[in-house]
Amino acid sequence: MLKKDQCWRCDTICSGSTAKIYCGRCEMAYYCSEKCKGSDEFRHQVDCQTAALKRKCSGCGNENTGLKPCGCCRQAWYCDKECQKKSWPTHRVLCQQGMRTVYYWGNTPATDLLNLPLNEGCDYSNPLSVLICGVGDPRNVVLSLFQLPDAYQEELTFVLNDICACTLARTILILYLLFKGGEQVASSVTQIWYSLRLSEDDYQLVIRTLQELILASSLEELTNGAMKMNQGHLQRIVEVWRTWLQLSFREEDWITEAQERCLITDFEDLVGISLYLQNIPKEHKESASDWFTNRILSPEESRDVLPRGNFTLTGSDYVNSRNKGAFGYILESFTHINPFRGWDYKDVKQWGNSASILKMYSEYAGSTTE
């Protein structure tokens, strides 16, 4: 069985710079090139006839030919965009399971993984190791450390694992920034973590940090043993860091432009945003809407000068396990994954309630990283 985005002829993953070329009749088969499409013509005939048969529209339920597949999961079929829009509230969960994205803002809510007071107890006196599979981003680590009781004085080790080299590269970058700078860089790290645009100071901080990480002989040596990584794995991460450095020198505002194009052209994203805004407290709707439009976590009054695009929000399709595709703005969908769902709202509200959800979360995230 073919994997998602796999060319029906040569098995190449059609992602990044490799555009999909669809069969014009069934619109199910796709290829990485016209050559592959032509070579597969006779072999595909039988499959094409089957694929072009009547299907049931997931929106209105009518059976017909010529239905268009969902552009994300290609599992649901629709008569037109109106039917697709009508079906989205129920289809979104299944659809999102098949969508491509890099989880730079986490694939699960941030969790205190240990919670010693309720589990082992505050006086627990043995070293602990926690394995985090599908790391998403460093929130789980940061929150667990933030809530670790003072009584626990033993060694705590987090083992991070993820299929995506880009996700691990960004996780290591953020954790290293916190390891090196501590509370002095907490505010900067929060913006680097979540915002599409950066101040000149934060931009230069990322540049210097990437250079340090790339030139280091080993992560263990650089951090005096606090962070460790197999050298073979580290080399894959270094490739991502080098690509980010190259992208950092692009002068035009291409990251913001890419995000704006996604917001305008992806009506599913717009529907997701609308549904989200309908279900949050009224006082937060304006500020949350502002984040979806601008992708900047700092409150509007704090955005005096943000001249730089956050190039660490670029990446390659995680389905390609080596992340060899062309890098681009990768957070083009998944409105259900955003900074406000990553941290527990009750904790954030207790820390500091405000009508601006941007202010609440930026202060809370900054405080937990200190």
Higher pLDDT, 24 or 146: 146
Residue 17 has pLDDT above 60, yes or no: no
The count of domains in the chain is: 2
**CA–CA–CA angle 240, 133, 123 (5° rounding):** 120
Residue ending a domain, among 36, 51, 66, is: 51
Q: How many CA atoms lie within 13 A of 188 on its CB side?
A: 20
Rounded-to-integer distance, Cα 352 and Cα 366, Å:
12
Residue 350 resides in a domain: yes
Residue ending a domain, among 34, 51, 68, is: 51
pLDDT band at 192 (very low <50, low <70, confident <90, very high): very high
**Residue 168 parent element (H or E):** helix 165-181
Residue 89 resides in a domain: no
Rounded-to-integer distance, Cα 267 and Cα 264, Å:
7
Higher pLDDT, 239 or 333: 239
**Residue 342 parent element (H or E):** helix 339-342
**Residues 164-168: what's their mean pLDDT?**
85
What is the domain extent for residue 21? 1-51
Residue 238 resides in a domain: yes
pLDDT value for 16: 60
